[in-house]
Amino acid sequence: MTRNYPDWLTAYCNYASFSEAPRRMHFWAGVSAIAGALRRKTWIDMGYFNWYPNFYIVFVAPPGIVSKSTTAGIAMKILKDVPGIKFGPDVVTWQALVGSFAESREDFPMADAKVPGMQIFMPMCALTLESSEFGNLLNPQDNEMVDLLVSLWDGKEGKFEKKTKSSGNDIIINPWINLIACTTPAWIAGNFPEYMIGGGFTSRCIFVFADEKDKYVAYPGRHVPKDFETQRAALTQDLEMISNTFCGPFGISEEAYKWGEVWYDAHYKNRPPGLDDDRFGGYIARKQTHIHKLAMVLSASRSDSQIIQPDDLALANAMVSDLEKDMPKVFDRIGRSETSVHAGSITSWLASQPEQTATYMELYKKFFHYFPNGREFGEIFGGLVSSGQIQQYGIGSDSRVTLIK
């Protein structure tokens, strides 16, 4: 059966484009949907270990700016309509997670590599977790849960045993988690101690940051095309085909291997701008894994070949690298006062403007959502002026504000 769309992710991003969120948020929500459909049935064989197509995607934005949970929900609603896909609990506790894993157990058939023409059945317990509040899924102080998530992202195989009050000693075979959640910079600052940044868990996450709308859409329903529901049905049908088609290891073409070798050498010789902080060392070390996980999804999005091509790796690298310029914003509140964070955001934004200048009203509109009232903004603005970091020319909303070099 032929798919409805030549590239599922492109079609999905077009389908979701009538909301206010940036397109890259829709892209990563779509990535989570394909990953959830692939589950633990496919992988890249690295000899000593496997890379599986699961992601820990976290949308990070101030409250009420880009409709984070709505954006994630568009993709997850499609994934939930695919038969056989299991979702975990909204609020993660050990007891709830163990129960969901037990319910998700399935044995999928695949070719026996040792005996031609024979099939073997591989067990797995695959879950997708979705939450509008990251804090419902994870308590960063719960070391046992954090260690489990780290192990599952790495593709650890075998049996996991966990004692729970209700059922005693539970055994989970080949567990796998795909996660998409939403949070704010303030929550990260309040819940992640600085020593965790760049460590085991955060370096395995894809943080997608946004602090402004892609566009203003008062009534999205007025803009969606007439065949909107038909598009959704076609996307669901294609995602079900992806879910049923892929099984066993992904191949990597010879050209893709060559691309990856050149990239790997350049990656460690030329660290990305802005990520020279030691906190990002863990991410730098795992970027290759992020890229190959994404390359599997990109390949599955457009083809049933189950072979990664150079274009898959190149696009995966571009999409992962696109997030790096905002990565410091995700963590810049940690260990700093609110006033310091906001002042730094104002000067950074001015530095990015043509001739490093803007009107007072442009500045206020950019940052008003961080402040419950204008008085706090005025105090921070006044502090920047008095400290000589910015200069105000004139008075009122049309006055010109310039960064002092």
313-322 pLDDT tens trace: 999 999 999 9
| Cβ atoms within 10 Å of 66's Cβ, excluding its own | 23
For residue 290, being part of any structural domain is answered with no
Same structural domain for residues 327 and 391? no
| 184 contacts 332 by C-beta, under 8 angstroms | no
Amino acid at 268: Y
Q: Which helix (H) or strand (E) holds 343?
A: helix 338-352
User: What is the average per-residue pLDDT within 247-274?
Assistant: 93
- The two structure tokens encoding residue 345: 């955001």
CA–CA dist 384, 131 (Å, integer): 38
Q: pLDDT tens for residues 35-82?
A: 999 999 999 999 999 999 999 999 999 888 899 999 999 999 999 999
- Please, what's the largest Cα pairwise distance for the chain? 82
Q: CA-CA distances (angstroms) from residue 226 to 223, 229, 230, 245?
A: 9, 8, 9, 30
> Which domain-ending residue is among 311, 331, 351?
331
Of 169, 100, 96, 88, give the one whose Cα is nearest residue 131: 88
Domain check: are 247 and 114 in the same one? yes
How many domains does the structure of the chain reveal? 2
- pTM here is 0.84
Instruction: Determine the distance from the C-alpha atom of residue 97 to the mean position of all C-alpha atoms in its chain, rounded to a whole number.
Output: 21
Same domain for 325 and 360, yes or no, is no
Is residue 305 one of the residues assigned to a domain?
no
Tell me the residue range of the domain where 245 lies. 8-251+320-331
Kindly state the average pLDDT of the residues 263-278.
Answer: 84
pLDDT of residue 164: 64
- Asked if 401 and 392 touch (Cβ cutoff 8 Å), the reply is yes
pLDDT for the residue numbered 54: 97
Instruction: Give the CATH number, domain containing residue 28.
Output: 3.40.50
Statement to judge: residues 324 and 384 lie in one domain? no
355: CATH: 1.10.10
Per-residue CA distances from 156 to 52, 176, 216 (Å):
10, 9, 44
Q: Is residue 298 part of a domain?
A: no
| Residue 278 pLDDT exceeds 80 | no
Arithmetic mean of pLDDT over the chain:
89
The answer to whether position 242 is within a domain reads yes
Residues 327, 393 within the same domain: no
Query: Looking at per-residue confidence, does 22 or 158 come out higher?
Result: 22
Residue 181 covered by a domain: yes
